[in-house]
Structure 1
Amino acid sequence: MAQLNDFVHAPHVNERPDIFRAPSSAEDLVSLYSAFLARENALAFIADSPERPVGYVTATIHKRPGDALMRPRSFVFVEHIAVAPTMARTGVGTALVESIRVAGKEAGCTSLLTDVWDFNKRALAFFEAAGLVHMRHWLEQPL
């Protein structure tokens, strides 16, 4: 996962350096992903080719109790997805998302969610093609 992170993270650093930073070392990424994978609600799948990993997806399972205003709900949230540029448009990303769908259903989730930064048009198009629809908008104003 650490090896595949750079090409998907670099556009975020370029577009929003006020929020994202380049990792200082591969060890930092290994620590980050190790801590993520240790979480009870974490999911991760890696797509391999005979030579090397070519993609990954991470997600978290969320179970929210209901209250006076909201119904109880459970969903799986895609945190990160990366596919090697040489494998783009080959079905790897779609297979990774499908793995999360299946795992989410097995965990009792009723929906799949993710978020996409507004500048990331490719990711937005990918998730729309995968069947996700807009449900909420975040707005920002620098202070």
Structure 2
Amino acid sequence: MIQIRTASSDDVALLATLNHIVHDLHNRHRPDLFLDSPERVAVEAFFRAQIADPSVTVLLADGTEGKALGYALARVKSRPGSALEHSDVIVSLDQIAVVPDAARSGVGAALLEAVREVGRSAGCRRLVTDVWYFNEGARAFYQAAGFSPMNVRLDQQL
């Protein structure tokens, strides 16, 4: 059984441990952007700051006996309108990670639905996220969850 709960400052060490799931993948594919071995203290400070930010919700998925199965970090963003664009309030899924042993067991889907609920509760119109091109598993997950491409971000070394 999967239980989704809001993380607290007591969870920063756990979140720092879970973060390696995503970070290691990113570092393998883009070592020019992602540190090889981020300092644990810095990663914990990052999560502590995120938890303290009122626009951010960090969610934890717990399994049986309270074992952590994954997390999601969501941020509510407001954008004022302009001469060209409507104003908008969105929830952005900035990070999501599931422990490998729990992959394809519904943990990611449960975290995603909890992020949707965060957005609905905040009056958001849309849920947005981005995914690295090399992360085929995440792209398939989001496509299966009903996401569709919105834009393409390009990169070039100089």
* Shorter-normalised TM range: over 0.9
1:61/1:76 contact within 8 Å kept: yes
Return the match for 2:77 from 53, 56, 62. Answer: 62
Q: Does 1:37 align with 2:66?
A: no
- Scaled by the length of structure 2, the TM-score of the pair is 0.87
* Residue of structure 2 equivalent to 1:142: 157
Count, aligned residues:
143
2:138 aligns with one of 123, 126, 135? 123
Question: 2:10 maps to which residue?
Answer: none
Tell me the residue number matched to 2:7.
none
Aligned to 2:104: 89
Contact persistence 2:50–2:58 (CA under 8 A)? no
- 1:4 aligned onto 2:18: yes
Letter in 2 for 1:110: R
Structure 1 consecutive aligned stretches of length 4 or more whose deviation exceeds 6 Å: none
Give identity over the alignment, percent.
40
Q: Which residue does 1:15 correspond to in 2?
A: 29
CA-based RMSD of the aligned residues comes to: 1.1
Q: In 1, Cα distance between the equivalents of 2:37 and 2:115? A: 26
Cα deviations by residue, 1:45-79 (Å, 9 ceiling, x for unpaired): 10012142111000100111111111011100001
Q: Which runs of 5+ in 1 are unaligned?
A: none
- Structure 2 residue runs of 5 or longer lacking an equivalent are 1-14
Distance between the aligned counterparts of 2:157 and 2:50, measured in 1?
29
Structure 1 counterpart SS, 2:21: helix
